[in-house]
A and B are shown apart, each in its own frame.
Chain A
Amino acid sequence: MKKVFAILILYGFTFCAQAQNCNRLAKRSVKNLEPFRFNGSLNKVLLSRGESAELSLILRGGKKYRILVDGGNVMGVLSFKIYDRHKTLVFDNSKHDMAQYWDFNIGATQEYHIVVTYPISNEGYNDVTTRGCVALAVGFLDNSP
């Protein structure tokens, strides 16, 4: 009985610590958007190796956006791709040195799909980590010169 209780407490602590780390990571990603204004929707998700998450969001015409992914120091670089409403690929960070953020000038308001993937193999990073927190933050600015 004592053992079960101890395991439950340990699980509780681990869960809380993971949530807090995830929140810290998410808040850091918002800070890193500057000088772009955070759009108010914070996205964080737990991903295992090889797993992806898709975010469907509307980017507005006449705005500049910064899209930033952050897996923290443990997970390393993440893959992110952007598809338009036809599901046609319009951006792939693997073609740009796995950049963890990118800026976009949007001509017309429409829905885009951002797919973030925790790569199966991440050279130079902790290979022990099989699951971790990923934050995705979006900021915007007026598209004036």
Chain B
Amino acid sequence: MLLACGGDDKETALTSDVSSEILLEDEIISAKQIKELKNASKVVYTLPSPVEMADILKETEAVYDVYILNDPDAVDGYVTDFKRAMNLGVYFTDLSFTSLFDYAQEAMRFMGAAQTMSDELNIQGVFTEDVMMRIEENMNDKDSLIDIVGSTYMDTDLYLQDNERPVIAKAILAGAWLEGLYIAVSLKTDSEQENQIWKKVGEQKPALGNLVRLLEDCKDAQFDSLLIDLRSLVKTFEAVKLDYQPIEVVTDTASMRTNLGGDLNVLIDKKTSNQIKSQIIALRNSITK
């Protein structure tokens, strides 16, 4: 989403980022490339959407329990717009998750919860009767269902962009991403699946940095408490080592495709994973309770 909270600071932020990169990787960056990157006047940090978070969870091939998700009947307990927005994000991820994992009945309940939150936030034209009907008609068609979820998330985002409500948009984004991590760390699995899940969690380290930047950019006091917790999580994630192998770039012009090869090893020790887990659970519960 290209919805900025505070537009003027972005160029400065990118410039300082790039400057530190120059010091570290002087030999591989040409002056021309740096100039092009510096000239980008609008810089946007993104996070995986609820649809992508559900897809990441699907890749782990773990068996999930719907009871770890948020209670769809808890909607009445969220009385401020900020809390509603965070939980709309949570419900979007729960909805994506239940849609992708074939929990059709539960998906309907989460769609209802998301609709209620959306109405309370006065987000118009998203959860329309037509959309709700399409969901009912496609309840047993996983692919169609997840496409509808993706499109309602997109329409919510567009509405908030057009109506200049960046704080609500960012709160939804934060809630959705944190719920995805919460689902991942809340599973009881065998050790092989656990390694797979923690690899996925570790891969989210750059996204965590992006989330902090996004919320800092908002300069809104409602994010203060969340930012304190997220910065603490960033500190814990510092112990997660991402060991990247060099990228091999191979382009096939005829098929309009480029292979960006390479490999990534994620190294997390038990103490760090336990700490990450307890911090994420506490963070998520502070949103939903």
Closest B residue, CB atoms, query A86 = B25
Considering residues A40, A52, A86, which has the most beta carbons from chain B within 10 angstroms of its beta carbon? A40
Q: Is the CB of A26 within 8 A of B158?
A: yes
Knowing A37-B147, A104-B260, the reply to whether A115 touches B36 (Cβ < 8 A) is yes
Contact of B40 among A37, A43, A53, A62 (CB under 8 A): A53
Say yes or no: is B43 at the interface (Cβ < 8 Å to chain A): yes
Interface of B is mostly: mixed
Q: Which A12-71 residues sit within 8 Å CB-CB of chain B?
A: 19, 23, 26-27, 30, 37-45, 47, 51-62
Contact check, B1 vs A41: say whether CB atoms are below 8 A apart.
yes
Contact A43–B49 (Cβ < 8 Å) = no
With A40-B51, A110-B264 known to touch, is A52 a contact of B244 (CB < 8 Å)?
no
With A and B bound together, what is the CA distance between A40 and B1 in angstroms? 9
* Bitwise interface map of B from 94 to 113 toward A, beta carbon under 8 Å scored 1, else 0: 00000000000000000000
A40 touches B264 (CB 8 A): no
Query: In the complex, which residue of chain B has the Cβ closest to the Cβ of A99?
Result: B256
Q: A56-B44, A102-B257 are in contact. Are A90 and B2 (CB under 8 A)?
A: no
Contacts of B28 in A (CB 8 A): 86, 88
What is the interface of chain A mostly: helix, strand, loop, or mixed?
Answer: strand
Q: Kindly identify, within residues 15 to 71 of chain B, every residue whose CB is under 8 Å from any CB belonging to chain A.
A: 18, 21, 25, 28-29, 33-34, 36-37, 39-52, 55-56, 59
Would you list 28 pairs from A and B whose C-beta atoms are within 8 A, ordered by A residue? Answer: A19-B162, A39-B49, A40-B50, A40-B150, A41-B52, A42-B1, A42-B157, A42-B158, A43-B2, A52-B42, A53-B41, A53-B44, A56-B43, A56-B44, A58-B46, A83-B37, A84-B260, A87-B21, A87-B37, A88-B33, A91-B251, A96-B253, A104-B257, A104-B259, A104-B260, A105-B259, A109-B264, A140-B52
Binding site for A on B (CB under 8 A): 1-2, 14, 18, 21, 25, 28-29, 33-34, 36-37, 39-52, 55-56, 59, 146-147, 150-151, 153-154, 157-158, 161-162, 203-204, 206-207, 210, 244-245, 247-249, 251, 253, 255-264
